[in-house]
Amino acid sequence: MKIFVLNCGSSSLKYQLFDMKDESVIASGKVERIGMEDAILTHEPTGKEDLKLVTEILDHTTAIEKVFNYLVDPKYGVISDINEIEAVGHRVVHGGEVFSDSVKVDAQVKAAIKGTFDLAPLHNPANLVGIEAVETVLPGVPNVAVFDTAFHQTMPKKAYMYALPRILYKKHKIRRYGFHGTSHKYVSQKAAEFLSKSIEDLKIVSCHIGNGASIAAIDKGKSVDTSMGMTPLEGLMMGTRSGDIDPAIIPFVMEKEDLTLNEVNSMLNKHSGLLGVSGIGSDMRDIEENMDSNENAKLAFDMYEYRIRKYIGAYAAAMNGIDVLIFTAGVGENSNILRKAIANNLTYLGIEIDDKLNNIRSKEVRRISTPNSKVEVLVVPTNEELMIARDTLRIVKSSK
């Protein structure tokens, strides 16, 4: 069975085509600058020459049509007939409180996704455009929506409610939702598999540390708390996002600096985090390169590490213990320096990492803790696209 996985943004899309026989990727690619005369289509068929094309692509339907044409192209194609694609999995960022699992798309589901636009105004409209574009280009093929928030719907009320007037929850559904759910679910399952243990027996703290970053407390395979909130701004310090701050800073800064709502939003989301503190950049590699010579880069690194460590401690407390600590995503998978700094300060939890193992670079799941460590510390490369493909297959099979 071939499954096409689509991640649609407002002016771009990314895709992967999976052969679920062996879960291999047979093609991947992206279209950038949709809506422009000089859109860029990059198509990478496995085992064949890559293609990079600059061309006019004015909407998502045209972009998807072009991608599908290349999937069956004699030179760049990987399948002989587009009907070999039996289902399409879509990443949808926000599922609100409606979706606690992936779901086959129908008119009702689309209406419910529309109902969440307020909660993710930058992402969900684009995700729905992607679904509708595939419906136009591949009519009759099932579409499955996989939500970033769904995995966290198991959080208890005490974890997801904010201490605000309850009416705000009733009227506007203001609560913690959490994100990166597809990744936290994938890496926690992968960790249990790697350790040959049932996930039911594990208390896992999963650190998804990339450009965006969040930590999840996963007890018996279920998310019981997570650091991102109603939006992906809360929690850890990130590449350009502030993470937790005193909310009173917002009206204060707006008044002192005469900022509009849009400006303050942009400050918190795009000009804060590693970038805002270091003044150097949002990429952890640049911070690490400069932190011996630049005190702002050092401060940014120390704050970033400290915040992660505090959340790990908080989630060990939330679950009354921790068996497994997972590092994943761009920074988590690659920065041995950050992992070491975090682990060196978690000895009170019985955590001990092996420097040699920590310094190995690999795309495989690996243990970096010593045999003496009371907590298994693992690096688990995330694969959100594969998780979406697996979920799509599961939902399509169960709806037959």
| Secondary structure element (H or E) that encloses residue 254, with its range | helix 249-257
> Considering only CA atoms, which of 186, 129, 85 is closest in space to residue 388?
186
Amino acid at site 200: E
CA pair distance 191, 379, nearest whole angstrom: 9
Out of 22, 50, 148, 302, the active site residue is 148
Q: Which stretch binds ligand AMP (CB under 6 A): 40-48, 95-103, 262-270, 331-339?
A: 331-339
Look at residue 207 and give its three-state secondary structure.
strand
Q: Which of residues 135, 283, 289, 354 is near ligand AMP by CB under 6 A?
A: 283
CB burial string 163-176: b at 16+ within 10 A, e below: eeeeeebeeebbbb
Determine the length of the chain.
400
Query: In the range 210-229, which residues lie near ligand AMP by CB under 6 A?
Result: 210-211
**343 in contact with ligand AMP (CB under 6 A):** no
Q: What's the burial of 372, exposed, middle or buried (CB within 10 Å: 0-12/13-18/19+)?
A: exposed
**285 in contact with ligand AMP (CB under 6 A):** yes
**34 in contact with ligand AMP (CB under 6 A):** no
Distances (CA, A) of 166 to 69, 154, 162, 169, 321: 51, 20, 9, 5, 31
Q: Which stretch binds ligand AMP (CB under 6 A): 112-120, 280-288, 351-359, 389-397?
A: 280-288
Q: What is residue 83's DSSP assignment?
A: G
Q: Which of residues 335, 358, 373, 392 is near ligand AMP by CB under 6 A?
A: 335
**329 in contact with ligand AMP (CB under 6 A):** yes
CA pair distance 214, 238, nearest whole angstrom: 9
Residue 391 annotated to the active site: no
> Considering only CA atoms, which of 115, 76, 77 is closest in space to residue 99?
115
Residue 104 neighbours by CB under 8 Å, 6+ apart: 142, 143, 144, 395, 396, 399
Determine the residue with CB nearest ligand AMP.
330
Q: Which of residues 330, 349, 358, 393 is near ligand AMP by CB under 6 A?
A: 330
Q: Which of residues 12, 153, 182, 334 is near ligand AMP by CB under 6 A?
A: 334
Q: Which stretch binds ligand AMP (CB under 6 A): 84-92, 168-176, 325-333, 362-370?
A: 325-333
**331 in contact with ligand AMP (CB under 6 A):** yes
Distances (CA, A) of 64 to 36, 87, 93, 104, 396: 15, 14, 20, 20, 21
> Considering only CA atoms, which of 114, 87, 82 is closest in space to residue 395?
87
Q: Which of residues 130, 239, 276, 381 is near ligand AMP by CB under 6 A?
A: 239
Specify the residue, 96 or 232, whose C-beta has the smaller distance to ligand AMP: 232
Q: From the CB of 208, what's the least distance to ligand AMP, in Å?
A: 8
Q: Which stretch binds ligand AMP (CB under 6 A): 89-97, 137-145, 184-192, 323-331?
A: 323-331
**178 in contact with ligand AMP (CB under 6 A):** no
Specify the residue, 119 or 329, whose C-beta has the smaller distance to ligand AMP: 329
Tell me, by CB under 6 A, how many residues bind ligand AMP: 11
Residue 15 neighbours by CB under 8 Å, 6+ apart: 4, 5, 6, 7, 27, 28, 29, 30, 67
Specify the residue, 135 or 283, whose C-beta has the smaller distance to ligand AMP: 283
Q: From the CB of 282, what's the least distance to ligand AMP, in Å?
A: 6
Look at residue 228 and give its three-state secondary structure.
coil
Q: From the CB of 25, what's the least distance to ligand AMP, in Å?
A: 17
**Catalytic center residues:** 148
Binding site for ligand AMP (CB under 6 A): 210-211, 239, 283-285, 329-331, 334-335
